[in-house]
Amino acid sequence: MPIANCKRCGRLFNRVRRDICPACVAEEDKAFETVRQYLREHRDATMAEVSEETGVGVDLIIAMIQDGRLMLRDNPNLHYPCERCGQPTRAGRYCPRCTKELSASLSAAARDLRKKAQEMERGQGYYSR
């Protein structure tokens, strides 16, 4: 059984599938339940209010949303900055616009790679640059 340091509290533990120890998992589960309950009762709460009222750190709340555990469908005032442009977003790491742009540039990069591979196969690309 692999032994690892918990990423959250630093304690050694038998690593099963997550990089935090069982005690921290239990704590996060409790935090998650607290936040979810609070959101159900306070639909128009903001991020600062939720964190203050539940005692759960903003970082952890955002991580739960990014994981897809916490859904913001009914909470219009809850959002956090996109990791790319800083615009408010409500799911994942990026706002919808950046998600679209990133996936477009990713597929463009994939197209480029494919083209290069084909050129190499034909024995051309080698001389072209």
Smallest gap from residue 124 Cβ to Zn ion (A)? 38
CB nearer Zn ion, residue 39 or residue 98: 98
Smallest gap from residue 9 Cβ to Zn ion (A)? 3
Q: Which positions lie near Zn ion, rule CB under 5 A?
A: 6, 8-9, 21, 24, 82, 84-85, 87, 95, 98
CB nearer Zn ion, residue 49 or residue 60: 60
User: In whole angstroms, how far apart are CA 98 and each of 39, 93, 109?
Assistant: 27, 9, 16
CB nearer Zn ion, residue 76 or residue 88: 88
Closest CA to 86 of 73, 76, 97: 97
Smallest gap from residue 28 Cβ to Zn ion (A)? 9
**Who's near 89: CB < 8 A, 6+ residues apart?**
79, 80, 81, 82, 95, 96
**Tokens 């990791």, residue located:** 83
